[in-house]
Amino acid sequence: MSRNLDINVEHLTRVEGHGNIVVNMREGVLEKAQLEIVEAPRYFEAMLKGRSFHEAAIITSRICGICSLGHQITSLKATEQALGLEVSEQTVLLRKLLIHGATLQSNILHAYFLAAPDFLGEGSVFPLVGTHPEVVVRALRMKRLANDIGDVVSGRAVHPITPVPGGFTRIPTRKELLELKRRLVEDMVPDFAATVDTMEALAGAIPDFTRETEFISLRSEDEYGLYDGQICSTDTGCVPDTEYMAMTNEHVVGHSTSKHCKVSRSSYMVGALARWNNSHDKLCDVALDAAKRLGLAPDCHNPYMNTIAQVVEAGHCALDAVAIIDKLLDDGLKDEQPNQEPTRFGTGVGATEVPRGILYHEYTYDRQGRVAAANCIIPTGQNLANIDDDMKKLVPEIVGETKEEITLKLEMLVRAYDPCISCSVHLLDVDFIE
C-alpha cells in the first residue's frame, strides 16, 4: 500500500508533561515516527551546582511531581555514597516501604486514570464517575491508601519531606504503621483482586504487537529489586550500579529537551515490563497469579503490556509493604536521628527502580559538601528511543487502518510507557495528511 500519512499529535493528553507524536509516511515509506518532547527545559543539573548536600534531594525531587519520591530516594543514595554516610537498616526498610507506596500509587493512577479510558473508549476518567462509579471509588480508595503510605512515612506523598541524607527527620509511630497495615490487608488486598477482575475484562482492548528489544532494570537476588540491586540487561547481563554509564549511553537528540539513551541496540526499554522480564521470579504468588490471569508471561515483548506489568507489580507492592511493616514492628521502631556527618567528599551514584523504570543520579561533592557536578538520567528519557523504534515497526503494520485508529494506537503505545514527560518529555499530537 502506498500511503501518505502525516500524524502530528500535539500535546498528547493523559501523560505527564508535554509531548507530540509525529509520523510521516510518503508513498508507503516511513520517513519519520517519533515522540517529540516539547517540555520546556529545566536545567536541573545546573541548578544543583554549588548547593549544599542538604538541598540536593529537595531540588531533584522537583524534577517530577509524579516520581518525586523516586528522585528523592535516588538522590539520597547518591549523596550518601558520595559523602560516606551510613544508613540504618530501619532507614532502608522505611525507604523500601515508601517505594512500594509510590509504585502502587503511580501504577494505580496510570492503569485507572490514564490508560483505562482508552480501553473503554473514553477521553478521560471523568465520564466513568457516572458510568462506573464503583470502579472510580475503588481506584480512589487504592490511590488514597498508597498516598497515605507516603504521607505517614515521608510526611507527604508528593515531594516527600522527612527522607533526608542519612535517614529520616521523623520516624512513623507504631500506631500509624499498624493502621496502614490494617488498611492494606482489609482494603487493598480485596481491591487489588477486584482490579485484576476489571483489567481481565478490559485486556482484550490491548493491541497485539511485538518487537524484540533490550530490557534493562535493577535485579536483586534477595527480593523483587526496586530499592537496590545490580543493573541487568536481557542482552548483556548484570553490572554494579556504579557502572551505570555503560548501561545508558546518553546522547542529545534534536527533537527532545530530554536526552535519549541506547546501549547495545538502537534502543532499550525500562519500566515495569523490563522488571517483569528480569525479575518475575521474585514476585509474590498473588502477583504471579494476577500475571497468569492477565496473560502476562516472561519475556514479553509487547510494550502495550507494560500497563499490565504495572498492575501485576502493584499487587506485589501491596503485599510486600505488609511484610516490611511487620519486620519494622518486630524489630521495634527506633527513634533514630539522620546521620549527617560526612566521612568523605567524592562521587556517588544512586540507582533505583521508580514506576517508569530505572533512575540514576550521580553527584560529586566538594569539601564544603556542595554539589560540584551532577547527572540525572531519567527513565522516560531512556525509553524515548524505544518508543520511536516501536512506532517505526508499528506504523507499517497498521497502515491499513483508519487514521483515527492509527492515531489512537500510537497514543496508546506512548501512554503504555506511562511517560513522565515533565522529567524530560511532553505530549503527542497526530496530524494525518493522506
CA angle 191–196–202, rounded 5-degree value: 125
| Backbone φ/ψ region at 249: left (φ over 0), alpha (ψ -120 to 50), beta | left
292 touches other proteins by CB under 8 A: no
Cα-trace Rg, the chain:
21
Nearest to 3 by CA among 433, 341, 387, 394: 433
Q: Does 113 bind other proteins (CB under 8 A)?
A: yes
Task: Pick the closer one to other proteins by CB: 51 or 301.
Answer: 51
- Those residues with Cβ within 8 angstroms of residue 102's Cβ, 6 or more apart along the chain or in another chain: 67, 69, 70, 146, 150, 157, 354, 355
Residue 417, classed as helix, strand or coil, is coil
For residue 46, give the C-alpha cell. 545546573
Binder of other proteins out of 5, 16, 75, 276 (CB under 8 A): 16
Least distance CB 45 / other proteins (angstroms): 5
Least separation, in Å, of the C-beta of 306 and other proteins? 19
- Which of 23, 35, 66, 94 binds other proteins (CB under 8 A)? It is 66
Neighbouring-strand partners of residue 23:
7, 33
| Cα–Cα dist 300/368, whole Å | 48
Q: How many CB atoms lie within 10 A of CB 175?
A: 8
Alpha carbons 163 and 107: distance in angstroms, whole number: 22
Tell which positions 332-361 bind other proteins, by CB under 8 A: 337
Tell me which stretch binds other proteins (CB under 8 A): 179-187, 252-260, 341-349, 378-386.
252-260
Report how far residue 117's alpha carbon sits from residue 253's, in angstroms, rounded to the nearest whole number.
32
Closer Cβ to other proteins, 126 or 265, answer by number: 126
Tell whether residue 173 is a contact of other proteins (CB under 8 A). Answer: no
Q: Which is nearer to other proteins, 135 or 305 (CB)?
A: 135
Q: Applying CB under 8 A, does 164 fall inside the site for other proteins?
A: yes
Is 162 among the residues that bind other proteins (CB under 8 A)? yes
Q: Does 156 bind other proteins (CB under 8 A)?
A: yes
Tell whether residue 189 is a contact of other proteins (CB under 8 A): no
**Among residues 257, 307, 310, 382, the one that binds other proteins under rule CB under 8 A:** 257
- Of 93, 120, 158, 372, the one binding other proteins by CB under 8 A: 158
Q: Does 30 bind other proteins (CB under 8 A)?
A: no
Separation of alpha carbons 380 and 306, rounded Å: 13
Q: Which is nearer to other proteins, 144 or 211 (CB)?
A: 144
**Binds other proteins (CB under 8 A): choice among 7, 25, 35, 64:** 64
Ramachandran angles phi, psi of 148, nearest 5°: -65, -30
Residue from 29, 129, 245, 297 that binds other proteins (CB under 8 A)? Answer: 129
Least Cβ distance, residue 266 to other proteins (angstroms)? 19
Residue 111 corresponds to which amino acid?
A
What is the dihedral sign for C-alpha 116, 120, 125, 129? negative
Choice between 52 and 210, CB closer to other proteins: 52
**DSSP secondary-structure letter at 84?**
T
User: Comparing C-alpha atoms, which of 167, 151, 199, 137 is closest to residue 73?
Assistant: 167
Grid cell locating 37: 518532547
* The binder of other proteins chosen from 21, 33, 157, 272 (CB under 8 A): 157
The verdict on 119 binding other proteins (CB under 8 A) reads no
Question: Residue 186, class by beta-carbon neighbours within 10 Å (0-12 exposed, 13-18 middle, 19+ buried)?
Answer: exposed
Near other proteins in 40-59, by CB under 8 A? 40-47, 49-52, 55, 58-59
Residue with Cβ nearer other proteins (52 or 402): 52
List contacts with other proteins (CB under 8 A). 11, 13-18, 39-47, 49-52, 55, 58-59, 62-66, 68, 109, 113-114, 123-126, 129, 137, 140-141, 143-144, 147, 155-159, 161-162, 164, 168-170, 252, 254, 257, 337, 422, 427
